[in-house]
Amino acid sequence: MSVFDLIRAGAPQGGRPARHLLAPAQFAQLPAALAAEPAVALLSLWAEPALVHAAFLDEAAGALLLASCPAESGHYPALSPARPGAVRFERMVRELWGLTAEGGQDLRPWLDHGRWPLTTPLAARPGRNGVPAGQPTFLPIEGEGWHQIPVGPVHAGIIEPGHFRFTVQGEMVVRLEQRLGYTHKGTLGLMLGKSPRTAARFAARLSGDSTVAHSLAFAEAAEAATATPAPPRAQWLRAVMLEQERLANHLNDWGFICNDAAFAFPLARLGLLREAVLRANAAAFGHRLMMDRVVPGGVAADLAEAALPVLLATLAAVEAELPGLAAIYDDHASLQDRVVGTGVLRPDLAARFAAGGVVGRASARRFDARLAFPAGPYAGSPPGLAVREAGDVDARVRVRMAEITDSIRLLRRFLATLPPGEIYQPLPQRGGEALALVEGFRGEIATWMALDDGGLIRAVFPRDPSWLQWPLLEAAVEGNIVADFPLCNKSFNCSYSGVDL
């Protein structure tokens, strides 16, 4: 039986897309079915008290389906034996809801460092923490001639906290393990019991550089759950903000990758261009990062009338500098020596983890949520799909370069076709549930939301693309020298806050 046939055999629970409730014995059949169908991607895994949910994507058919399983006696069948991307979700579910994945590949602590006053805070009955915080546990090492380098969680400069444990032989990295959770904010608990409009502020702050993308996925989930689409003008304005966010972040990442290879000039020029984009955002939407501008039902403010020329002039200024910066990137042998062949992510690994965004497309995975599920202005103006196969730092830079040019093209089209009308539609106070996919600059964000009959959030889970990309960074850095880790890390640019919840 296929994965989707197996899921559809469960009891339908409604929702958009449809969610089916499987008995534990049925859910336990999923790993074998998934092993036989590599094209079915695991998008996300999360829970409610005594209930586990999983979202799947059939990439060939472009179909989404959700499966749920009762966690009897606090246990449920693990998916990680067939989908390694499930490992960190299963660790998170165990710590937040107290539900254990039977047969899971790794059940070490992830978010909880032993310092929370309550254990399993989202469970029906959280427990009090009476055990002193212990040291983190890392995988054992056997053999001779290796040593370990601990880095973080505090890093130089302005960067989120995360611990990296390198096992090296000489200068060669033979293993990298990550330890995150330092920016855990209790976001899910803060959202529960609130209206989508009130809780939208938490979604906007889940990962600040993706505030538009996370806000949009959250808003679209609420709108789909209540069958209340945003007005057309709001959809166009959202797309403008989304592409402005992508443009600013890709410029920033390109510059910092060059800087981590000790070539500072591109960072200076690309940083200047990014600053121009942020200032245009402030002129157009009243905030440099456009935080709290996307809300359930539409947008919080219309495009300032005088801002259109500012936006267009900024796009022209960025576009004018791109050929020269690309030539500088190509023509400096010392830079090319650092990025070409460094931090290679094999296409088969990118496919197994369903890596999205630049990370996936630089390793031959042809997925973009804007193309797979076009909506609003993207339905009439699809983005280009920049794909590389080398999977190295250089490939990830070149995908960003192509997407910068494409975002400029899309922005001009969206601004030229901006429809008139309202920018906000209030959501009705009624129940429902839905999953929304939005292509942020890192990849697709998958936000699931369930509303009770009063229109308040009963359950929610915003899945950042970094959940499926962080483990791949561990694989990509193996066999590289320690000095190349900053290059690999920046070329992935995963979010710490986005997975720490």
- Torsion sign across C-alpha atoms 19, 21, 24, 30: negative
Q: Supply the pLDDT for residue 324.
A: 97
What residues contact residue 415 under an 8 Å CB cut-off, 6+ apart?
240, 308, 311, 312
Q: What pLDDT is recorded for position 453? A: 95
Residue by residue, pLDDT tens for the chain (501 residues) are 789 999 999 999 989 999 999 999 999 999 999 999 999 999 999 999 999 999 999 988 889 999 999 998 999 999 999 999 999 999 999 999 999 999 999 988 888 888 889 899 999 899 888 777 777 788 888 778 889 999 988 887 778 899 999 999 988 999 999 999 999 999 999 999 999 999 999 999 999 999 999 999 999 999 999 999 999 999 999 999 999 999 999 999 999 999 999 999 999 999 999 999 999 999 999 999 999 999 999 999 999 889 999 999 999 999 999 999 999 999 999 999 999 999 999 999 999 999 999 999 999 999 999 999 999 999 999 999 999 999 999 999 999 999 999 999 999 999 999 999 999 999 999 999 999 999 999 999 999 999 999 999 999 999 999 999 999 999 999 999 999 999 999 999 999 999 999
Residue 455 contacts residue 429 (beta carbons within 8 Å): yes
Query: What single DSSP character describes residue 250?
Result: H
Q: Name the pairing type of β-strands 147-151 and 127-128.
A: unpaired
C-alpha triplet 344, 214, 352: angle, nearest 5°:
35
Amino acid 142: pLDDT: 79
3-class DSSP state of 183: coil
- Cβ atoms within 10 Å of 401's Cβ, excluding its own: 18
488, 343 Cβ separation under 8 angstroms: yes
Which residue has 């920046």 as its token pair?
490
**Coil vs helix vs strand at 260:** helix
pLDDT given at position 37: 93
Q: DSSP characters for 5-59?
A: HHHHTSEE--TBTTEEE--HHHHTTHHHHHHH-TTEEEEEEEEETTEEEEEEEET
Of 411, 423, 420, 356, the closest CA to residue 381 belongs to 411
Domains belonging to the chain, first-starting first, are 3-120 (3.30.460.80), 187-500 (1.10.645.10)
> Nearest Cα to 55, choosing from 7, 97, 92?
7
Provide the whole-model pTM.
0.96
Q: What residue type is 354 in one-letter code?
A: A
